Structure 1
Amino acid sequence: MIKKLISKLFTPRAPRPILGVKRHAPLRVPKEKHGIDRRLVSRHAIKVCDVLHEHGYEAYIVGGAVRDLIVGAQPKDFDIATNATPEQIQPLFRRARIIGRRFRLVHVVFGQEIIETSTFRASGTDEQTTDEHGRILRDNVFGTLEEDAARRDFTLNALYYDPATEIVIDYHNGVADLQKKVVGIIGDPAKRYREDPVRMLRCMRFAAKLGLTIAPATKAPIRDMAHLIENVPASRLFDEMLKMLTCGHALDCLRRLRAEGLHKGMLPLLDVVLEQPGGEQFVKLALERTDVRVRSGKSISPSFLFAALLWQQVNQRWQQHQAAGELPIPALGQAVDSVLDDQTEKLAIQRRFVSDMREIWFMQPRFERRQGKSAWRMLEQPRFRAACDFLQLRAATGEVDSVLAQWWMDLADAGDAERAAMLEDLARQPRASGDAPARKRRRRSKPKTHPAGGEGGAAPAGAE
């Protein structure tokens, strides 16, 4: 009885009118025209589609995976769109869970791979919950394949690949746009950006990552609507910023953000950083090195990236505090706190990343001390390698002595025996001007004991 009721509620119906989008039959693009190699498709994504097909549902690989396969890139993940509801999908798989409030969907788990499976959603309905700016807050109204394609943001993301027939269903000429290297939004651009301002950021990222131009009508409203980014939750902005910095074209992304004024809602310090002497060179070098690592398939550290983006401002305030009479370490602490306070109002950098950033920054003055046990203690620090790489950036821009930076990098790459030899050799040399003397720890005088205890008596167990 319950199954019949659910089936009746979600039986496919005639598509409702879609605001700002013309209805027409979709293109069914065959393999010889879209060029997707089925061997590059996740076998788990194919399995999810097969299982849904076996139970009478439609199912397609959708969105970014299809886009990347067409342009010859390897997708990071695979998403599925279907006319089955979350409650109908979950029982079909051994490991599946329903997640989300704004968008309810199912995560189907295969070992380390998660196949995100969502139900077709309606577009432009009165049942959507929006805020005063038009941003959609809640969207769990299920719809048809045509409606689902219309509610997607860009034509290059509204593509549906059926691994069984190897056909791409294309309602909005997304395949043609990819072949023409154009980013185009679906529907009225101003309305779509108001629904979700993050679409403006995604537009910049797709253009930078795929080497595309932005269609004039798609680009036209962005500068005037850039202020809407301030209405997006900081945690969501952080996620999008991380995607930009790790897409392999981070520098181009930041340039595009700045050109359209979008950075003010995410990195308000970017203008200040890029206008400082050496600031643009430092950020450019950091992002270029990161892009090279991403393109070569190497791992990167988000903490390192954000530390690099904000360092020039930290360094400037650090120098100001020292000029005012503060000691180096307390001055650095004040500089770090003030920059992070300014930045986290816009971009909610996760605590674990902030902790790593602080370690990287606070290790920089310690590189100036190589004598005694200082170097060995540095080697034991969890973020030593990241801090050492950061020191290389500073040396490359002339901020610190390149000889000192190279010595630390050689020490980082050496084995234990070689490290010991390097430090012994350093100890025999006259102290270099860049080597600050190691601080001697003051030994406390042993407290006098009194027979009756009390003031001046024996210290409690565990105290020095």
Structure 2
Amino acid sequence: MPEQNPSSKPELRIIPRDQHNVSRKDISPNALRVLYRLRDGGFSAYLVGGAVRDLLAGRQPKDFDVATSATPEEVKQLFRNCRLIGRRFRLAHVVFGREIIEVATFRANTDDGSGDREQHEGGRLLRDNVYGTIEDDAVRRDFTANALYYTIEDFSVRDYTGGFEDVQKRLMRLIGDPETRYREDPVRMLRAVRLAAKLGFEIEPATAEPIPRLASLLSEAASARLFEECLKLFLSGHAVRSFEGLEARGLLPALFPDTAAALKANRSGALRSVVIDGLRGTDERVANEEPVSPAFLFALLLWPAYCRALIALQAQGVQPIDAQRRAADRVTVRQLSTVALPRRFSIPMQEIWLLQSRFSLRQGKRVSRMLGHPRFRAAFDFLSLRLAASDEHAEDVAFWREQQERVGMGPGQPSPRPRDDEDAEDDAPARPRRRSRRSTAAAGE
């Protein structure tokens, strides 16, 4: 397929109803309500993006987005249950109970001098609210597979960029020059990996080529946005493929620099085995519609970094307990410069790490105290994961599994003293006794 130029006029291909598999019965009734009311209000409106892509690929979408000629203010006039959001990208959200139909006005790819399109000198878009036609809207979208429009006028799919063919070929292809598009929004590199993992698509060679060279641009993205992207990458049921995609495209060092360095230094591959095995378990939980805590996810992803920091501190002569705490703090603080991990997740993450050393303490009251810890279940599951790297902890796993059975803590049951994550976030895994000045100085703090 020839490269699409966002400034050139695209060629429209109409795929009639009898040549595609998108059916209204598979579309959210609320999305259809929005489409019909916009049409009755005199506006053009289309189901667009991921929903059309997923339906064509034989998948059931989770979200349904609409593109329209109506401005956000005009959408709000049509729907009392509408709220307007965003500054960088103005959107209308039409709310139906727990379901939100996102409605976006057709965007143009040009600056009309109004100040509604603002671009950083490096190419990154800071504001993008210049409205245009459906043709303008199509070529400014990121991937061809996301630039497909389903219309209720004749139930056809409209394709301006070759996306229909790319979905059939299972290809993720950027619209326009890949390097330019990545510079506009570096997070598109993560989206390419995530969507390819989710859909089982390949990233088209020209789209993939610049990613390793431009991976460092992710440092320009907002850390809070990168946190949300991490949740999408690893909590959508395709975590293993996403992780492998990050590795293959050179994005892991940009997103998790300390983890990437630790995995590279770990010649045995044991640490990577733990991560992959844990992500495989995460995918299984998502498939079974079981919850996965972001705290556990980040404890897993940053475990190699924690292990490496801990070994380095112990090599410097820092006492084990102090080394564990300092390693946990060091890894957390360094990661925060890239991904904004909220404290309600970072504190339990550290507790999961710090509890690992307590599983070998199996005497007297320590057992009951451990079983009653609010993070016991997550920490035990994490200990079990570590068997993927070594059977060193097999006896500990067997002992604590037996103790859980003894007190009736079956799979999925809480610890005897359940606590909410936020209520317990200030609990340290082992509340330290006040140390003397001498011991503090010896720890190098």
Residue 233 of structure 2: aligned partner: 244
1:311 aligns with 2:303: yes
Question: What's the secondary structure of 2:302's corresponding residue?
Answer: helix
1:47 aligns with 2:36: no
Q: Which moved more, 1:171-180 or 1:258-267?
A: 258-267
Write the distance in 1 (CA, Å) between the matches of 2:46 and 2:6.
25
1:178 aligns with 2:158: no
Does the C-alpha gap of structure 1 residues 200 and 325 become closer, same or farther in structure 2, counting only changes over 3 Å?
closer
Higher RCO, 1 or 2 (CA under 8 Å, sep at least 6)? 2
Does the C-alpha gap of structure 1 residues 327 and 130 become closer, same or farther in structure 2, counting only changes over 3 Å?
same
Write the distance in 2 (CA, Å) between the matches of 1:43 and 1:376.
52
Residue 70 of structure 1: aligned partner: 56
The count of corresponding residues between Structure 1 and Structure 2 is 407
Displacement of 1:66 in angstroms is 1.3
Residue 258 of structure 1: aligned partner: 247
Contact map agreement 2:112 2:130 (CA 8 A) in 1: no
For structure 1, list consecutive stretches of 5 or more residues without a partner in the other structure.
1-17, 420-437, 443-464
Q: Which moved more, 1:37-46 or 1:59-68?
A: 37-46
1:142 aligns with 2:131: yes
2:111 to 114, 121, 125: 125
Does the C-alpha gap of structure 1 residues 201 and 356 become closer, same or farther in structure 2, counting only changes over 3 Å?
same
Question: What's the secondary structure of 2:244's corresponding residue?
Answer: helix
Question: What's the secondary structure of 1:401's corresponding residue?
Answer: helix
Write the distance in 2 (CA, Å) between the matches of 1:42 and 1:330.
54
Question: What's the secondary structure of 2:363's corresponding residue?
Answer: coil
Residue 386 of structure 1: aligned partner: 378
Residue 109 of structure 1: aligned partner: 95
Displacement of 1:399 in angstroms is 6.1
Does the C-alpha gap of structure 1 residues 418 and 357 become closer, same or farther in structure 2, counting only changes over 3 Å?
closer
Write the distance in 2 (CA, Å) between the matches of 1:381 and 1:112.
34
1:211 aligns with 2:200: yes
1:167 aligns with 2:159: no
Contact map agreement 1:155 1:172 (CA 8 A) in 2: yes
Question: What's the secondary structure of 1:269's corresponding residue?
Answer: helix
Question: What's the secondary structure of 1:187's corresponding residue?
Answer: coil
Letter in 1 for 2:105: T
Contact map agreement 1:392 1:406 (CA 8 A) in 2: no
Letter in 2 for 1:136: L
1:38 aligns with 2:6: no
Contact map agreement 1:34 1:175 (CA 8 A) in 2: no
Give the TM-score normalised by the residue count of structure 1. Answer: 0.81
Displacement of 1:272 in angstroms is 2.0
Write the distance in 2 (CA, Å) between the matches of 1:160 and 1:98.
23
Residue 29 of structure 1: aligned partner: 15
Write the distance in 2 (CA, Å) between the matches of 1:336 and 1:78.
40
Write the distance in 1 (CA, Å) between the matches of 2:183 and 2:39.
36
1:287 aligns with 2:279: yes
Q: For 1:62-81, what per-residue CA distance to the aligned partner results, in whole angstroms no more than 9, with x for missing partners?
A: 11111111112222211111
Give the TM-score normalised by the residue count of structure 2. Answer: 0.84
Q: For 1:306-339, what per-residue CA distance to the aligned partner results, in whole angstroms no more than 9, with x for missing partners?
A: 1111112212332443454444332211010111
1:87 to 73, 81, 89: 73
Identical-pair percentage: 47
Q: For 1:409-449, what per-residue CA distance to the aligned partner results, in whole angstroms no more than 9, with x for missing partners?
A: 45446664999xxxxxxxxxxxxxxxxxx99x99xxxxxxx
Letter in 1 for 2:369: R
1:339 to 320, 323, 331: 331
Does the C-alpha gap of structure 1 residues 402 and 32 become closer, same or farther in structure 2, counting only changes over 3 Å?
farther
Q: For 1:23-66, what per-residue CA distance to the aligned partner results, in whole angstroms no more than 9, with x for missing partners?
A: 24422223332212322221111111122122111222211111
Q: For 1:250-298, what per-residue CA distance to the aligned partner results, in whole angstroms no more than 9, with x for missing partners?
A: 2332333233322232111233232314111111111122223333443
Write the distance in 1 (CA, Å) between the matches of 2:278 and 2:55.
29
1:301 to 272, 277, 293: 293
Displacement of 1:243 in angstroms is 1.3
Q: For 1:113-153, what per-residue CA distance to the aligned partner results, in whole angstroms no more than 9, with x for missing partners?
A: 11111111111335421112110000111111111111100
Displacement of 1:196 in angstroms is 1.1
